[in-house]
Structure 1
Amino acid sequence: MAPAQPSSSNANPPPTLSLNGQIMAKLKPAKIFKNCIDPPAQSSNKPPNNTPRNITGITFDDRGDSLVIAAEDESFRVYNCKTGKHQKLFYSKKYGIDLPRFTHKNTAIIHASTKEDDAIRYSSLHDNKFLQYFKGHKETVVSLEISPIDDGFMSGSMDRTVRLWDLRAPTCRGLLAVPAVPIVAYDSTGMVFAVGINQYSRILMYDQANYDKAPFLTVPLEDPTLAQISYPPRPICMTSMAFSTNGKHLLVGCSGNAHYVLDAYDGALIAKLEGHVGLERRSLNQQLGIEVQKGVSGEEVSWTPDSKYVVGGSLDGRILVWDLQNIPPRPEGSKSPVKLQPVTVLDGHPGPARCVKFNPRYAMMATAGQELAFWLPDQIADAEDGLLKKKSNA
């Protein structure tokens, strides 16, 4: 099923920047925020808690002007991407905060709760007031995505349901019961969405207008190369999914040492992204196998807005860039994906790089772990290159 072009006037504007290998290789931290997480509270009756806290989620607004981060200290912070300055600090101590997502207004976000209940909350960034509560999930929400074209959004929960919502109504407008914890993603048109099911290594594709019917495509996520490493092969643990903005590919983020790129039309496994150290995964029990646990991974890999590159973090703090422009074709008859190594590896964080996202409008990347970093192309290096060329031509 070929995705149609979005018709809504609310659709995200197309990216204005065109990235290339030179720009990606020259990205360097332009601003590092080291003290953007409160340290754990210490108790006189307990030994000191020296476990570092992490940033668990980051989100850009549609125009790339603002960034919001959520952290394990139950705070969310607003940053100005143009000035590189911290603007506001809010707390959600009663309910916790995770999976922040800008709505199509840069003054509001939705986010999951981490305690008290499992509601999704719609919050104003102007005064930190809740605009709406979306109740229905019975366990923690582990996947949350805004529709690219309207006020709809979608959530996946540990209660093994997918719920479809609208910002204008407190009750869900659609419900899917699935056999395991789901990971969800909208395609770039908002007319198709995908649901990843780890227990059966399947990705289900649904027509948004007919979500209550069977999926129009069921994609098995099977990597024959895993049997070459261990047998039985280690199961794949999907922690995120994201369609490319050009609608051609589906990026499947995993907690192991590989991510995958699939054809968005027929589900064919195209590429296996390697070179990073995967973030931790947890096994719940032998019956369920490996399941998604929020806070383990899921925000560490994403597309650039022009669909040319994938950027990702690593357990050792590095930031990696994979080039998706010229993927070699698979040998005829082979079911194994093409293995891609990163074209650029950047030194990043002192601890795990848990969140990596590229600005939707500017040549800027944000990465986060125990600290937040804004990355820009190294203009000093560009100037020096130009100066050297002038000298060599003189």
Structure 2
Amino acid sequence: MSPVDDQFLTGSIDEGVRLWDLRQPNAIDFIDIQSGRPCLGYDPSGLVFAIGKRSNKTVQLYDSRKFGQSPFDTFQIDDNYLNSNVLPTSPPEWTGLKFSNDGQKILLTTSGDVHYLVDAFNGQLKQRLIGHIGLDNASVCLGGEETSFTPDDLIQQNYY
């Protein structure tokens, strides 16, 4: 949900992102991302939204006033630990994307036992967060809402 108006984004497995307005019954715009299940999030100002795609390990930043245009920035998110692992492991599904309250960080949540904290301005991987229990079956339950920022920008893991 946009923090400044009645618009919100949805992403689906049909490889698209739709922009909606609560006052209208149908989507008002569409971005074809051609890349599987996206994660979406607005920055606190509502001026920028991000689309995260695990399939190509990118986070794309868009100007929310110019929906449908190309992203103004794209970050490659590489987990060097997973890349260097001797055993072939598939990276966990990305389940959520959230901006911090100050808009300086992006939290990418996953179905595995790792989450990623990324610099929102240059895409640098700031922290690889481990030590929690991931979802057992990502294809059945893809959430991402179990991890969030607190009002003072700490990261909170909720267990249900």
TM norm. shorter chain > 0.5 = yes
Which runs of structure 2 are paired with 1:169-248 in the superposition (5 Å)?
A: 169-179=24-34, 180-248=36-104
Query: C-alpha separation between the residues in 2 aligned to 1:281 and 1:188?
Result: 31
In structure 2, the gaps of 5 or more residues are: none
Give the C-alpha shift of residue 233 in structure 1.
4.5
Which runs of structure 2 are paired with 1:319-338 in the superposition (5 Å)?
A: none
Q: Is this contact kept in 1: 2:105–2:117, CA < 8 A?
A: yes
Query: Is it true that 1:311 corresponds to 2:156 in the alignment?
Result: yes
- The CA RMSD over aligned residues, in Å, is 1.6
Which runs of structure 2 are paired with 1:251-290 in the superposition (5 Å)?
A: 251-282=107-138
State the one-letter code of the partner of 1:149. V
After superposition, the C-alpha distances for 1:54-86 in whole angstroms (9 at most, x for unaligned) are xxxxxxxxxxxxxxxxxxxxxxxxxxxxxxxxx
Query: C-alpha separation between the residues in 2 aligned to 1:171 and 1:147?
Result: 17
When normalised by structure 1's length, the TM-score is: 0.39
Give the C-alpha shift of residue 155 in structure 1.
0.6
Query: Is it true that 1:295 corresponds to 2:150 in the alignment?
Result: no
Q: How many residues align?
A: 159
After superposition, the C-alpha distances for 1:193-219 in whole angstroms (9 at most, x for unaligned) are 011112111111111112221111111
Give the percent of matched residue pairs that are identical in Structure 1 and Structure 2: 36
Query: C-alpha separation between the residues in 2 aligned to 1:209 and 1:297?
Result: 28
Aligned counterpart, 1:119? none
Alpha-carbon distance change, 230 to 299 in structure 1, aligned in 2, over 3 angstroms: farther
State the one-letter code of the partner of 1:302. S
In structure 1, the gaps of 5 or more residues are: 1-145, 283-292, 314-352, 354-368, 370-394
When normalised by structure 2's length, the TM-score is: 0.91
Give the C-alpha shift of residue 184 in structure 1.
0.7
Alpha-carbon distance change, 212 to 296 in structure 1, aligned in 2, over 3 angstroms: closer
Aligned counterpart, 1:163? 18
Give the C-alpha shift of residue 160 in structure 1.
1.4
After superposition, the C-alpha distances for 1:347-377 in whole angstroms (9 at most, x for unaligned) are xxxxxx2xxxxxxxxxxxxxxx3xxxxxxxx
State the one-letter code of the partner of 1:174. D
User: Quick one: higher RCO (CA 8 Å, sep 6+), 1 or 2?
Assistant: 1
Alpha-carbon distance change, 217 to 231 in structure 1, aligned in 2, over 3 angstroms: farther
Q: Which runs of 4+ in 1 moved over 4 A?
A: none
Q: Is this contact kept in 2: 1:246–1:306, CA < 8 A?
A: no
State the one-letter code of the partner of 1:170. P
Q: Is this contact kept in 1: 2:135–2:141, CA < 8 A?
A: no
